[in-house]
Amino acid sequence: MAGDPRVLVTGAGGPSGITILRDLADEPLEMIAGDIDPYAAGLYLVEPSRRAILPRGDDPAFADKVLDLCRRESVSVLVPTVDTELLPLARDRERYAAAGVTLVLASERTLACCLDKAVLAELCDPVVNVPTTTIVDASFDPASIPLPAIVKPRSGSGSRGIRLLERVEELEALERDGTLLVQEHLPGPEFSLDVLARADGVVVGVVPRERLKVDSGIAVTGRTLHDEGLETFARRVAEAIGLTSVANVQVKGDVNGDPSLLEVNPRFPGTMPLTIAAGIDMPRLAIGEALGTPIPDGPLPFEDLAMVRFFQERFFSFDDITSLKETAAQLSTP
């Protein structure tokens, strides 16, 4: 008799990976936790035989090595949660499918537009409110930018590399190599909109979350809320980018208080526990669909809830860490 399906979750040290592993712990699944770091907390949420040290997502052989792991461990579903892993895996989707592995991951086209904020702004501008966006390249004119303004990398997620500029001299000092964007400053409240779309592209669930307190780019206090305008905003963005999985649409109010697009994270967000508790278990639904269980028609209902986050300890033998450190050392040896 065949055993339970095996699901590999990468980024087990991050909040997204930990959330998925905890959420599905009681399901008839064998969860495998993977990370590049032997100290990653999520590795220790599963039995030692189901822990995997992975190569870095920017390793040219990343997709090959992970596919080898999936074959050895008879993995049925792979759920990547690290930005650098997404495109390499999406580009290799057919080879994974041929090996019997389904990726819970947006399409290569969707990822490409989400991971380049300039492309995302241009694509979504016809359907939602988008802040005025200027690429800092050879044609960039600092005198044309209203201040204050936000400068950010074209690629990347979260708050990394984002600065508020208030003087034209700061604009003039920017490197004009096309890797930075200058955007209109949005002074209003920020919301995260968790979106679930089926494989056929139909959006079945949107859960708006207000980020009440943020620490290192992660909401540690928040709440869900019903807001028809925000839900419609998220649906329009999801349809524009061709979403067929889970994504997080981040918006902020402009000077008139209207929501304006910040970015789209085309993966499970770190604050997914609040969305799950509110009533839409996106990891369970998305992984279930990958295993053949249809996602019901939406809109899926959810409740208004508040959340605070805190640390939780887990205790085990240090030998567990030693074993994974040895594996990591072997993996990094040329």
The CATH class of 6-105+313-332 is: alpha beta
| Nearest 10 degrees: Cα torsion 39, 42, 48, 52 | -80
Model confidence at 158, in pLDDT bands (50, 70, 90)?
A: low
Q: Look up the CATH architecture of domain 187-308.
A: 2-Layer Sandwich (3.30)
Retrieve residue 278's tokens. 């509110």
Own/partner pairs, 44-53, CB within 8 angstroms, 24+ separation:
44/314, 44/316, 44/320, 45/12, 45/18, 45/21, 45/314, 46/21, 48/320, 48/323, 51/324, 52/8, 53/324, 53/327, 53/328, 53/331
Give the predicted TM-score (pTM) of the model.
0.92
Q: What sign does the dihedral 274-278-280-284 (CA atoms) show?
A: positive
pLDDT tens digits along 314-325: 888 899 899 999
What is the model's pLDDT at position 122?
95
pLDDT tens digits along 28-63: 999 999 999 999 999 999 999 999 999 999 999 999
The β-bridge partners of 35 are 53
Model confidence at 1, in pLDDT bands (50, 70, 90)?
A: very low
Q: 37 with 328: CB under 8 angstroms?
A: yes
Q: Residue 74 carries which DSSP code?
A: T
Q: Residue 156 carries which DSSP code?
A: -
Position 221 pLDDT exceeds 50: yes
Name which of 222, 83, 254, 47 is nearest 156 in CA terms: 83
Q: In the chain, where are the structural domains located?
A: 6-105+313-332, 132-184, 187-308
Retrieve residue 43's tokens. 């590795």
pLDDT tens digits along 77-124: 999 999 999 999 999 999 999 999 999 999 999 999 999 999 999 999
Q: Look up the CATH architecture of domain 132-184.
A: 2-Layer Sandwich (3.30)
What is the model's pLDDT at position 331?
82
Q: Hey, how many other C-beta atoms are within 10 angstroms of the C-beta on 27?
A: 15
pLDDT tens digits along 160-213: 778 999 999 999 999 999 999 999 999 999 999 999 999 999 999 999 999 888
Triad 208, 156, 265: Cα angle to 5°? 25
What distance in Å separates the CA atoms of residue 9 and residue 76, rounded to the nearest whole number?
A: 11
The rounded mean pLDDT for the chain is 94
What is the model's pLDDT at position 159?
62
Q: Hey, how many other C-beta atoms are within 10 angstroms of the C-beta on 47?
A: 11
Which residue type sits at 153? P
pLDDT tens digits along 254-310: 999 999 999 999 999 988 999 999 999 999 999 999 999 999 998 999 999 999 988
